[in-house]
Structure 1
Amino acid sequence: MLKVRPVRTSDLPAIERMAIASGIGVTSLPSNRDKLFERIQMSRTAFGHEAIGEASNDFYMFVLEAGDKVVGTASIAASAGFDEPFYSYRSETFVHASRALKVNNRVHVLTMCHDLTGMSQLCGFYVEPSHAAAGGELLSRARLLFVAGQRERFGRRIIAEMQGLHDEAGQSPFWNALGRRFFNMDFLQVEQAFVSHSKTFIAELMPSYPIYVPLLPDEAQDAIGQIHPDFEWPCQLLTREGFEADHYIDIFDGGAVLTAEIDRLKTLETARCYPVEVAVSLPEGAAPRLIANERVETFEATLDKVALVGGVAFIHPDAASVLSVRSGDKVRLVARQTEEAGETS
């Protein structure tokens, strides 16, 4: 049975393996053993905290288990850019007009900003392909079930950066047309710099004035707000939740940045808490649902059939074992996205 739980120090080799497999562009899952170890320790500290307010730099890392093997990972940063600004490009329109010449032009520009600083952030998502079909939704939404149960730990809005376009050689058309001219580094080099050093180098080297998009090469313009094919499926999971591509793009590869109001996400709007009854034979009407316990340090989530009868959630002993719950405990339930689509169609 699949299970999502907080990361442990012993998971480091598996996390490192997945960081390598995730390829370039996923700076929130760096292929750097020391940085991964640091993030695991940050996560262990965060899960050990008592309830806290939203102004927090806590970082929560989860893993997806299949049997005794770790096959996926995903994280939440309680406050993006807590220690230093979270940079992105804001996509907007300037109007250049001349009444004398009867000219009125609307020009697409990109302005470096840190508007998204302080928002909660979903990041570091990766699932091994062999477990993506069943495990991907569980891993992605288990984070949100945790947010629902620990709402005071997170802010009002949430973001998720999508990987932008780059080729197999690691060349990003957006970066080559813009960032490389100021950093004199290729995309792979700047990715490593981003992982290894303070983000303040962005403000030190990138232009602070607006970038006029029509002056960029066509290939770079076409990459703005686009999503790498490997990220289309995770993006679909998030858009079904209620995330939208807003007016922001990644400062390195031009990939879309999705934003949402946390309380309006599908998982938070529809998830409900129920007392548990553990039963070998479930009542009629049992359907697959995502199930999570209501703990913090020992948070666990899984996917299994649940029967709701008289305000009680009947679950199988196997699911109860995975979640470490017994009859009388409370769990948080939400329907699968496919089931939700069926209910609303």
Structure 2
Amino acid sequence: MLTVRPVRTSDLPAIERMAVASGIGVTSLPNNREKLFERIQQSVSAFEHEAIGDSGCEYYMFVLEEDGQVLGTASINASAGFDEPFYSYRSEIFVHASRALKVNNRVHVLNMCHDLTGMVQLCGFYVDGHLEPQAAELLSRARLLFIASKRERFGRRVIAEMQGIHDDAGQSPFWNAIGRRFFNMDFLQVEQAFVSHSKTFIAELMPSYPIYVPLLPDEAQHAIGQIHASFERSCQLLCNEGFEADNYIDIFDGGAVLTAEVDRLKTLENSRCYPVEVLASLPEQAQPQLLSNLESSEFAAAVCRVAVVDGVAFINPDAARALGLASGGQVQVVGLQQKESAA
């Protein structure tokens, strides 16, 4: 059975493998052993704290596991840019008008900002490509069930950066048109700098004045707000939740930044908590649904058959073991986006 649980230090080799496989531009899953170990340690510490009053620097990393093998990972950053501003471009329209010439032009511009600093951030998503769509849904939405069960730890708004357009050689048309002119660095080089150094270099080197989009090369203009093919599956899952591509794009590759209200996400709106009863034989109306316990360091989520009868969730012993539940416990239940048979 596929399950989602908090990351452990022993998962580092598997996380390294996925960081390599995720490819270029995924700075939230860096191909850097030291940084990955640091993030795992941050996550272990965050999960071990049973009560956190306000959202802060907590970082939660989850893994997707089957038969002891780690097949995916996803994270929550409780407060994007907690220690430094979280930079992005805000997409805006400037109006240039002349009454004398009877000219009124609307011009698309990009303004560097840190409007998104402090928001909850979903990041570091990767699932092995051979897995069925339901596995990606389980991993993506398990994070949201954790937020639902620990609502006091997280803020009101949530964001997710989508990887922008670049080719196999690491050439990003958006970066080449803007960032490279100020950094004199290739996209791959700046990605490593982003992982290894303070993010203040963005403010130090990138232009603080508006970027007039019509002055950019066509290829760069077309890349604005676009999503790399490898992120299409995770993007669709988030859009199904209620995320939208708002007025923000990634400052490096121009990829879309999705935003949403946490409490209006479908997983949070539709999930319910029920007392649990474990039965060897489930009622006929049992259906595959997404389930999780309400724990922190022992958090677990899985797709299992469940029957909710008279306010009680009935699950079988396999599901109870996977979720660390027993009769009399509490379980979160929410319907699936992908209607497929459970493991």
Report if aligned partners of 2:137, 2:338 keep a CA contact under 8 Å in 1: no
Q: Which amino acid aligns with 2:46?
A: A
Q: Which amino acid aligns with 1:252?
A: F
Alpha-carbon distance between aligned partners in 1 of 2:281 and 2:124, rounded to the nearest angstrom: 38
Alignment of 1:270-285 (within 5 A): 270-285=270-285
Matched, 1:191 2:209: no
Matched, 1:148 2:123: no
Aligned match of 2:104: 104
Shift of 1:273: 0.3
Shift of 1:134: 2.6
Alpha-carbon distance between aligned partners in 2 of 1:172 and 1:54, rounded to the nearest angstrom: 38
Q: Which amino acid aligns with 2:310?
A: G
Alignment of 1:306-325 (within 5 A): 306-325=306-325
Q: What's the TM-score, normalizing by structure 1?
A: 0.97
* Structure 2 unaligned regions, length at least 5: none
Aligned match of 1:228: 228
Shift of 1:138: 0.3
Alignment of 1:93-242 (within 5 A): 93-242=93-242
Q: What's the secondary structure of 2:130's corresponding residue?
A: helix
Aligned residues: 340
* Deviation digits for residues 223-268 of structure 1 (CA, Å, limit 9, x no counterpart): 0000001111100000000000000000000000000000000000
Q: Which amino acid aligns with 1:118?
A: G
Shift of 1:99: 0.4
Shift of 1:38: 0.1
* Structure 1 unaligned regions, length at least 5: 341-345
Alpha-carbon distance between aligned partners in 2 of 1:49 and 1:275, rounded to the nearest angstrom: 24
Aligned match of 1:28: 28
Q: What's the secondary structure of 1:129's corresponding residue?
A: coil
Alpha-carbon distance between aligned partners in 2 of 1:218 and 1:101, rounded to the nearest angstrom: 28
Aligned match of 1:300: 300
Report if aligned partners of 1:275, 1:312 keep a CA contact under 8 Å in 2: yes
Aligned match of 2:258: 258
Q: Which amino acid aligns with 1:336?
A: L
Shift of 1:52: 1.8
Shift of 1:130: 1.6
Shift of 1:167: 0.4
Aligned match of 1:46: 46
* Deviation digits for residues 273-309 of structure 1 (CA, Å, limit 9, x no counterpart): 0111111110011111011001001100011111111
Shift of 1:132: 4.3
Q: What's the secondary structure of 2:167's corresponding residue?
A: coil
Alpha-carbon distance between aligned partners in 2 of 1:139 and 1:36, rounded to the nearest angstrom: 19
Shift of 1:335: 0.4
* Deviation digits for residues 4-60 of structure 1 (CA, Å, limit 9, x no counterpart): 000000000000000000001110000000000000000001011132233411000
Alpha-carbon distance between aligned partners in 1 of 2:49 and 2:132, rounded to the nearest angstrom: 31
Q: What's the secondary structure of 2:297's corresponding residue?
A: coil
Alpha-carbon distance between aligned partners in 2 of 1:132 and 1:163, rounded to the nearest angstrom: 22
Q: Which amino acid aligns with 2:219?
A: E
Shift of 1:339: 5.0
* Deviation digits for residues 122-141 of structure 1 (CA, Å, limit 9, x no counterpart): 00000001224231000000
Alpha-carbon distance between aligned partners in 2 of 1:306 and 1:98, rounded to the nearest angstrom: 66
Aligned match of 1:58: 58
Aligned match of 1:333: 333
Alpha-carbon distance between aligned partners in 1 of 2:175 and 2:294, rounded to the nearest angstrom: 43
Matched, 1:83 2:83: yes
Q: What's the secondary structure of 1:28's corresponding residue?
A: coil
Q: What's the TM-score, normalizing by structure 2?
A: 0.98
* Deviation digits for residues 138-164 of structure 1 (CA, Å, limit 9, x no counterpart): 000000000000000000000000000
Alpha-carbon distance between aligned partners in 1 of 2:51 and 2:209, rounded to the nearest angstrom: 41
Alpha-carbon distance between aligned partners in 1 of 2:187 and 2:68, rounded to the nearest angstrom: 36
Q: What's the secondary structure of 2:338's corresponding residue?
A: helix
Report if aligned partners of 1:320, 1:326 keep a CA contact under 8 Å in 2: yes
Q: What's the secondary structure of 1:337's corresponding residue?
A: coil
* Deviation digits for residues 62-95 of structure 1 (CA, Å, limit 9, x no counterpart): 0000111000000000000000100000000000
Q: Which amino acid aligns with 1:8?
A: R
1:191 to 1:257, Cα distance in 2 relative to 1, 3 A = same
Report if aligned partners of 2:74, 2:126 keep a CA contact under 8 Å in 1: yes
Matched, 1:289 2:302: no
Alpha-carbon distance between aligned partners in 2 of 1:277 and 1:215, rounded to the nearest angstrom: 64
Q: Which amino acid aligns with 2:262?
A: I
Report if aligned partners of 1:54, 1:78 keep a CA contact under 8 Å in 2: no
Q: Which amino acid aligns with 1:120?
A: V
Report if aligned partners of 1:53, 1:154 keep a CA contact under 8 Å in 2: no
**Which stretches of structure 1, 4 residues or longer, exceed 6 Å deviation after superposition?**
none
Q: What's the secondary structure of 2:70's corresponding residue?
A: strand
Alpha-carbon distance between aligned partners in 1 of 2:244 and 2:27, rounded to the nearest angstrom: 21
Q: Which amino acid aligns with 2:205?
A: L
